[in-house]
Amino acid sequence: MSVRISVLRLPHGTDLPLPAYATDGAAGMDLLAAVTDPLVIPPSGRSLVPTGLRIALPPGFELQVRPRSGLALRHGIVLPNSPGTIDADYRGEIQVILLNMGDAPFTVTRGMRIAQAVVAPVLRAAWHEVGTLEPTARAEGGFGSTGI
* Weakest-pLDDT range from 35-44, 96-105, 111-120, 139-148: 139-148
User: What would the pLDDT profile of 8-38 be if each residue is shown by its tens digit?
Assistant: 999 999 999 999 999 999 999 999 999 999 9
Backbone dihedral angles phi then psi of residue 124, each to the nearest 5 degrees: -95, 135
Alpha-carbon distance of 93 to 68, in angstroms, equals 20
Q: In the beta sheet, which residues pair with residue 96?
A: 49
pLDDT the model gives residue 146? 73
Alpha-carbon distance of 66 to 27, in angstroms, equals 11
Those residues with Cβ within 8 angstroms of residue 118's Cβ, 6 or more apart along the chain or in another chain: 27, 28, 29, 63, 64, 66, 83
Alpha-carbon distance of 37 to 42, in angstroms, equals 16
Domain covering 6-121 in this structure, CATH number:
2.70.40.10
Backbone dihedral angles phi then psi of residue 70, each to the nearest 5 degrees: -65, -40
Alpha helices in 45-126 (DSSP H): 69-75
Q: Is the pLDDT of residue 41 over 90?
A: yes
Q: Is the pLDDT of residue 134 over 80?
A: yes
Q: Is the pLDDT of residue 141 over 90?
A: no
Q: Which pLDDT band holds residue 144 (cuts at 50, 70, 90)?
A: confident
Q: Are strands 61-66 and 93-100 parallel, antiparallel or unpaired?
A: unpaired
Question: Peptide bond preceding 58: is omega within 30 degrees of 0, i.e. cis?
Answer: no
User: What would the pLDDT profile of 54-63 be if each residue is shown by its tens digit?
Assistant: 999 999 999 9
User: What would the pLDDT profile of 65-115 be if each residue is shown by its tens digit?
Assistant: 999 999 999 999 999 999 999 999 999 999 999 999 999 999 999 999 999
pLDDT the model gives residue 147? 72
